[in-house]
Amino acid sequence: MEGFKKYLTNYSAGDTIYTIGDIQDDFFIINKGKVQLISDSGIILVTLSKGDFFGEEALIEYQDAKYTASVIEEATLIKIPFNQLTEMLKKSSDIALKILKKLAEKNLKIVDAVLDLKADSNEKTGSISKVDTKDKTTPPSIKTSEEIDDKENEMSAKFGNEIKAYIIIQKSNRMVQLEKPSTFIGRRDFTTGFIPDIDLTKEDDEKYISRKHASISYLGGKFYFAEEQGAVNGTFLNGNKINTGVKYEIKSDDKLTLCHIDITFKY
């Protein structure tokens, strides 16, 4: 931070950092607060927070902004001009690699948002690309919202004396029984039709959780919690970050956190 202090700039909630079409010649790192990137149609593409980067257009001279950057929570940003950013990248491969990693994560979130919007549009209009218009049925690779809700309701309805283990999703106070030896937790994918065993799409407004983010498994009379390969934004057990692919034994009342969603395990 010592080297970045001279670039610190404060913004209030509601401030617009730049809008679509502006010549964008500054690169931003969020030190505090939250920023949303918004498309020309007003769609929120992604919500960024501490440690995230945006303004990569600054890497190309005289490039106009492709989205509007708006502050939604009082923020302190590190605002680096184009010429000084390029000098930093030349001098430090570590900085360059960190920027590339964070930008890749952000771009994946934007791609997810765009694909979800496309899928939502297809569901509303009844049009699905590359499907014969004579075929009036929904292809098996794409699930309708009714089918998704049916599955969720089916899982939520099986509470009673036979319950052995379940989770409570704190944000929505929703309880879901664990029904299989291996249960995947994540967010639905409208494009491929993938739905995890426990779908957190409704709780994950900002789309931070991965499609197949974590799992709870039952082995040898014990329950284990693990972060799945490809998960981003972190997974925690009782406040401690866990390593990808490692199974951690869990007990009743343990707190599981997928990015920003807190879950209580009960057994």
Note the pLDDT of residue 151. Answer: 44
Instruction: Tell me whether residue 253 is exposed, middle or buried, using C-beta atoms within 10 angstroms of its C-beta: 0 to 12, 13 to 18, 19 or more.
Output: exposed
Instruction: Tell me whether residue 136 is exposed, middle or buried, using C-beta atoms within 10 angstroms of its C-beta: 0 to 12, 13 to 18, 19 or more.
Output: exposed
Helix axes 93-125, 82-91, angle to 10 degrees: 120
* 172 close to 150: Cβ distance less than 8 angstroms: no
Residues 6 or more apart whose CB falls under 8 angstroms from that of 36 comprise 44, 45, 46, 47, 48, 69, 70, 72
d(CA 61, CA 246): 44
Note the pLDDT of residue 105. Answer: 67
The answer, as to whether pTM is greater than 0.75, is: no
Mean pLDDT per 10-residue interval, the chain, length 267 residues: 78 93 86 90 84 78 81 92 76 72 67 61 47 38 41 40 77 88 88 86 86 90 90 91 93 94 93
Do the strands 198-199 and 214-219 form a parallel or antiparallel pair, or are they unpaired? unpaired
Per the structure block, which two tokens stand in for 138?
């929904």
d(CA 65, CA 22): 5
Note the pLDDT of residue 102. Answer: 67
d(CA 221, CA 223): 7
* 265 close to 247: Cβ distance less than 8 angstroms: no
Note the pLDDT of residue 194. Answer: 83
Question: Where in the chain is CATH 2.60.120.10?
Answer: 2-124
* 198 close to 187: Cβ distance less than 8 angstroms: no
Alpha helices in 126-224 (DSSP H): 145-156
Superfamily of domain 2-124: Jelly Rolls (2.60.120.10)
Note the pLDDT of residue 77. Answer: 94
d(CA 182, CA 201): 20
Residues 6 or more apart whose CB falls under 8 angstroms from that of 99 comprise 53, 89
Note the pLDDT of residue 142. Answer: 38
Note the pLDDT of residue 129. Answer: 40
Per the structure block, which two tokens stand in for 44?
């929120």
CATH 3.40.50.300 describes domain 145-266: no
Question: Where in the chain is CATH 2.60.200.20?
Answer: 145-266
